[in-house]
Amino acid sequence: MHARGMDFPPLTPADNAFAARLPQGVLRAVEPRYLEERRGLFHGRAGLVAAPRNTGEVAAIVRAANEARVGVVPYGGGTGLVGGQVMPDGPVPLVLSLERMTAIRGVYPAENVIVAEAGAVLADVQAAAVAEDRLFPLSLGAEGSCRIGGNLSTNAGGVNVLRYGNTRELCLGLEAVLADGSIWHGLKRLRKDNTGYDLRGLLIGAEGTLGVITAAALRLFARPATTGAALFVVQSPAAALDLLARAGGRIGSGISAFELISGQGMRFLEATGCAARVPLDAIPDWAVLIDLGLGPDDDPQAALVGLYEEGAAAGLVLGGVIAQSEAQRAGLWAMREEIPEANKRIGAISSQDISLPLSAIPEFIPAARAAVAQVGEFRINVFGHLGDGNLHFNVFPPEGRARGDYPGEMRARVAEAIYDVVAAFDGSFSAEHGVGRLKVGDLERYGDPAKLAAMRAIKAALDPNGIMNPGAVLRR
Amino acid sequence: MHARGMDFPPLTPADNAFAARLPQGVLRAVEPRYLEERRGLFHGRAGLVAAPRNTGEVAAIVRAANEARVGVVPYGGGTGLVGGQVMPDGPVPLVLSLERMTAIRGVYPAENVIVAEAGAVLADVQAAAVAEDRLFPLSLGAEGSCRIGGNLSTNAGGVNVLRYGNTRELCLGLEAVLADGSIWHGLKRLRKDNTGYDLRGLLIGAEGTLGVITAAALRLFARPATTGAALFVVQSPAAALDLLARAGGRIGSGISAFELISGQGMRFLEATGCAARVPLDAIPDWAVLIDLGLGPDDDPQAALVGLYEEGAAAGLVLGGVIAQSEAQRAGLWAMREEIPEANKRIGAISSQDISLPLSAIPEFIPAARAAVAQVGEFRINVFGHLGDGNLHFNVFPPEGRARGDYPGEMRARVAEAIYDVVAAFDGSFSAEHGVGRLKVGDLERYGDPAKLAAMRAIKAALDPNGIMNPGAVLRR
């Protein structure tokens, strides 16, 4: 094994000299699951897979890797959508899986805090909160398999950001192993702690490039005593935003989610035979799914009726349904959650996770449509977390053609057309999925130069040998 | 002028060579107000005071200072309590006052966003939000004179953190000048933006040691349609916490503030002739001030009556008053806000701003009292933002003696006694005031070594010449 500055030596399972320096019993077989990425955009490589049992073992592995200049790719549930969890090129790395560190270290209902290890599956963290009659509000499609360490490393968003914030806002404290193998014991259960730089916020969203998160103290909330949901047909995205503002005035912080759904998305659901039903007589151009969580003395259905009436009187709302039971509410959510599956069955040429200033959205959507039309004839499914200004802007071939008909060059042109419009409206080319390896070039193109320079300086300062998730976020 | 590595040359008003490199018209007279600190713990020095009119001028000043290795002390409203805004020793710095950058650059009510320059006074930001029927929830005693740039740089807390979060959580985007004079244009109005490291969160709370914040995009909220407040006498801090949990279950996110007030604090108010009245027949050992902000169809008074009845039935609440008018609510808050003034009139030996895991507070208070009693005979006034686990733990001489009777050595022993107990309960020695220059030694003693090493590496990476607020947070 030869360390050559920032260059990594190749690492293979036969590299016994390095493996012998790792804690006993941490090595796993290099199974394909560690190397696959669900969209098939990347195929990873790994010389070794290590699955440590505790933070001390994580530290020992990272310290050994740092001394030997071996790259370390932290691996959670493998559900990331930008290739942050797989390293397809460069010197072969060690994959560090958190799958054996799944403990809920403590639940503190009186404090509204839960302490979970990084490998805990998100759904298990949610369930541990429910067992103490509390809510851990992070919720997203992959919650049955993604792990909380990955959610933290990517600052995951999801459907409840409007009310509860992104993962960063849900985290009070962290325990992490830094690139030199030192352990930061920052697992504070404090709401206020102004004792130095925000290392917590920096590691969250750093996608494993500055260290490995091993555990987190996370915020819990009272579970809403009453809930409700409605699907309202709206005149336009502008009408949806007006309705959102009115809902804020009427219902305040009781709005848990406010999702935009396009007619194209509903047609895809029907065309692909997805199980979810659209409970409307005809498919409209636009609809919003509104979810409420209120107090014990409140009446969410009455609140939704009031909002409907105000919206209808103002010409914003054209129809819709209000769930009359928890099962109907679940049905509305099932429809929303199945849109990505329908998209997958149709086969997108380009899937963008973007965000915009809320008031720019009505102008942005037609402008982005027009820009994409300049590249060619496509179908577009725009949907997402309207309350957060977060749209999933997905581009599909016209009927009768398939994704495979479009070369990569065409896909890149579509993405660029969208991103240029996003940039013109002061938006973001990655709202909740992160940069990973997929969007490194986009960050270089659209990112602020002063911020990029600061990021590179921070990376060099905290990981001088460049071992942590090499090539993610910043080019190797 | 001689640059000698990390050493700064002395700078005086006569230093024309350096002054000539600054933008025209930015220099101000070195008035005493730039060098004073309200508790009189520090007296600053300044060779020059510069008050730039725009971000370009801030950049030019910082660039010149970086090239000349002149220290830059950013100055907002001068209300900080830990000496972050005054540099009492070391090479004489330039004071960079944001007082001329006070513009509200835009209010976006449909987005719930306001963009303010760093020199805007907090009360003016609040007022600009109200003018658009919105709430900017950051609220603290100094709001009439502190500036939003200082609030951001110290990650200010205040009375509404329980509901709306610290300043960091209220900020969506920043514009800032980094130590090399480059401008980061990060003034995004986005709720979700996962495009690289959280430079925003890092500059917030860095107390001017990594750069100068020049403007911020801040979150607004719907103004609560109905409000209410009550002062409940409680059995103990444990009873107060139990009541807080019950309030969370009954009222959810409608609780804007939950403040603990001690009998000692109320006795100080009466003894010092403060204007605020305690609206109770007798002064109790403990009370809580609860503030609600609810929707248009809600009844805050009824909610407080319900909470009172539940608390009384459980033996937690022993009496109290519920405000019957906005004037009575303001009266309760005036009482709470005057406690620091009463403390000042009595004269504290030691004033600590600490935080603890919520459930540790009932054990912490007697443990800290006992530790202080080991040092000597004192009166203690514990009060603060109980909902955030944030206590102001202030220690006073017994009746008949004065603060001046106690040497600095004794004060240090009191602080150390408290901090050791705080550390034993996994708390923080600085909850909302920051580190500044006052608590640099405490950070070295109580801070996590891995985090401190990371902070020093970040400081060296982003400010290699050490010009930004030298000696604050980290030792020069």
Contact B197 A205 (CB under 8 A): yes
CA distance B323 to B113: 32
Angstroms from B177 CA to nearest CA on chain A = 9
The residue in chain B having the minimum alpha-carbon distance to the alpha carbon of residue A154 is: B194
pLDDT tens-digit map of A193-209: 999 999 999 999 999 99
The reported pLDDT for the residue numbered B277 is 86
Which runs of consecutive H residues, i.e. helices, occur in B280-360?
Answer: 300-313, 326-346
Give yes or no for residue A423 having a pLDDT over 70. Answer: yes
CB A454 within 8 A of CB B462: yes
Contact A182 B453 (CB under 8 A): yes
Q: DSSP letter for B404, please.
A: G
- Please give the mean pLDDT across all residues of chain B: 94
Name chain B contacts of A113, Cβ cutoff 8 Å. Answer: 357
Residue type, position B247, single letter: A
Q: DSSP letter for B296, please.
A: T
The reported pLDDT for the residue numbered B296 is 82
Tokens representing A327 are 């099962």
Using pLDDT thresholds of 50, 70 and 90, give the confidence band for residue B459: very high
Name chain B contacts of A169, Cβ cutoff 8 Å. Answer: 165, 169
The reported pLDDT for the residue numbered B275 is 85
Tokens representing A241 are 């935003």
Using pLDDT thresholds of 50, 70 and 90, give the confidence band for residue A13: low
CB A98 within 8 A of CB A149: yes
* A178, A222, A448: residue with CB nearest B450: A178
B328-336 mean pLDDT: 95
* A111, A184, A295: residue with CB nearest B251: A295
Provide the 10 A C-beta neighbour count for residue A301: 17
The reported pLDDT for the residue numbered A143 is 96
pLDDT tens-digit map of B166-218: 999 999 999 999 999 999 999 999 999 999 999 999 999 999 999 999 999 99
A448-474 mean pLDDT: 98
The reported pLDDT for the residue numbered B12 is 60
Q: A157-190 in b/e burial notation, b at 16+ Cβ within 10 A?
A: bbbbbbbbbbbbbbbbbbbbbbbbbbbbbbbbbb
Give yes or no for residue A167 having a pLDDT over 90. Answer: yes
Interface predicted TM-score of the whole assembly (ipTM), two decimals: 0.95
Give yes or no for residue A4 having a pLDDT over 80. Answer: no
Residue type, position B242, single letter: D
Which of helix, strand or coil describes residue A466? coil
Name chain B contacts of A55, Cβ cutoff 8 Å. Answer: none
CB B293 within 8 A of CB B224: yes
Q: Which of B143, B139, B44, B40 is nearest to B97 (CA)?
A: B44
**How many CB pairs (< 8 A) connect A and B?**
278
B352 vs A: CB within 8 A: no
Which of helix, strand or coil describes residue B234? strand
Using pLDDT thresholds of 50, 70 and 90, give the confidence band for residue B395: very high
The reported pLDDT for the residue numbered A11 is 58
pLDDT tens-digit map of B430-452: 999 999 999 999 999 999 999 99
Contact A194 B108 (CB under 8 A): no
Name chain B contacts of A450, Cβ cutoff 8 Å. Answer: 178, 182-185
CA distance A39 to A318: 37
* A192, A204, A251: residue with CB nearest B295: A251
Give yes or no for residue A265 having a pLDDT over 50. Answer: yes
Burial of B454 (0-12, 13-18, 19+ CB in 10 A): buried
Name chain A contacts of B393, Cβ cutoff 8 Å. Answer: none
Which chain A residues in 61-80 lie under 8 Å from chain B, judged by CB atoms? none
pTM over 0.80: yes
The residue in chain A having the minimum alpha-carbon distance to the alpha carbon of residue B185 is: A448
CB B50 within 8 A of CB B28: yes
Angstroms from A29 CA to nearest CA on chain B = 32
Give yes or no for residue B357 having a pLDDT over 80. Answer: yes
CB B86 within 8 A of CB B30: no
Contact B447 A195 (CB under 8 A): yes
Which of helix, strand or coil describes residue B246? helix
Integer angstrom CA distances of residue B417 from A197, B377, B378, B393:
25, 13, 13, 12
Contact B194 A205 (CB under 8 A): yes
A375-380 mean pLDDT: 96
CB A365 within 8 A of CB A321: no
Tokens representing A273 are 């035979």
The reported pLDDT for the residue numbered B10 is 55
Contact B250 A191 (CB under 8 A): no
Contact B194 A241 (CB under 8 A): no
Give yes or no for residue A68 having a pLDDT over 90. Answer: yes
The reported pLDDT for the residue numbered B2 is 36
Any idea which of A35-44, A215-224, A380-389, B178-187 has the lowest mean pLDDT? A35-44
Angstroms from B83 CA to nearest CA on chain A = 14
Using pLDDT thresholds of 50, 70 and 90, give the confidence band for residue B407: confident
Tokens representing A114 are 């839960």
Which chain B residues in 432-461 lie under 8 Å from chain A, judged by CB atoms? 432-435, 439, 443, 446-455, 457-458, 460-461
Q: DSSP letter for A92, please.
A: -
pLDDT tens-digit map of B275-310: 888 999 999 999 999 999 998 888 999 999 999 999
CB B227 within 8 A of CB B326: yes
CA distance A95 to A97: 6
Integer angstrom CA distances of residue A290 from A120, A328, A386:
29, 13, 10
B141 vs A: CB within 8 A: no
Angstroms from B278 CA to nearest CA on chain A = 28
Give yes or no for residue A5 having a pLDDT over 50. Answer: no
CA distance A235 to A263: 12
CA distance B48 to A396: 61
Best to test chain B binding among A194, A207, A221, A305 (most B CBs inside 10 Å): A194
Which chain B residues in 211-250 lie under 8 Å from chain A, judged by CB atoms? 221-222, 224-225, 241, 245, 248-250
The reported pLDDT for the residue numbered A3 is 36
Contact A191 B447 (CB under 8 A): no
pLDDT tens-digit map of B61-115: 999 999 999 999 999 999 999 999 999 999 999 999 999 999 999 999 999 999 9
Q: DSSP letter for A272, please.
A: T
Owner of token pair 């302490």: A115
The residue in chain B having the minimum alpha-carbon distance to the alpha carbon of residue A423 is: B188
CB B81 within 8 A of CB B39: yes
CA distance A123 to A128: 9
CA distance A164 to A293: 12
Contact B357 A457 (CB under 8 A): no
Name chain A contacts of B447, Cβ cutoff 8 Å. Answer: 195-196
Which of helix, strand or coil describes residue B383? strand
The reported pLDDT for the residue numbered B398 is 94
**Residue A464, CA atoms < 13 Å, CB-side half-sphere:** 8
CB B214 within 8 A of CB B118: yes
CA distance B373 to A270: 74
Contact B449 A182 (CB under 8 A): yes
pLDDT tens-digit map of A78-127: 999 999 999 999 999 999 999 999 999 999 999 999 999 999 999 999 99
Which chain B residues in 83-112 lie under 8 Å from chain A, judged by CB atoms? 108-112
Name chain B contacts of A56, Cβ cutoff 8 Å. Answer: none
Integer angstrom CA distances of residue B158 from A192, B140, B384:
10, 5, 9
Give yes or no for residue B24 having a pLDDT over 60. Answer: yes
Higher pLDDT, B137 or A248: B137
Q: In chain B, helix, strand, coil percent, each to 5?
A: 35, 25, 40
Q: What angle do CA B338, B342, B346 make, to 5 degrees?
A: 170
- Please give the mean pLDDT across all residues of chain A: 94
Angstroms from B11 CA to nearest CA on chain A = 28
CA distance B33 to B23: 23
Contact B111 A358 (CB under 8 A): yes
Strand partners, B186: B174
pLDDT tens-digit map of A125-165: 999 999 999 999 999 989 999 999 999 999 999 989 999 99
pLDDT tens-digit map of A21-61: 999 999 999 999 999 998 888 999 999 999 999 999 999 99
Backbone angles phi, psi at B54, to 5 degrees: -155, 175
CA distance A10 to B322: 71
The reported pLDDT for the residue numbered A249 is 83
Please report, rounded to a whole number, the percentage of residues in chain B having pLDDT higher than 90.
Answer: 88
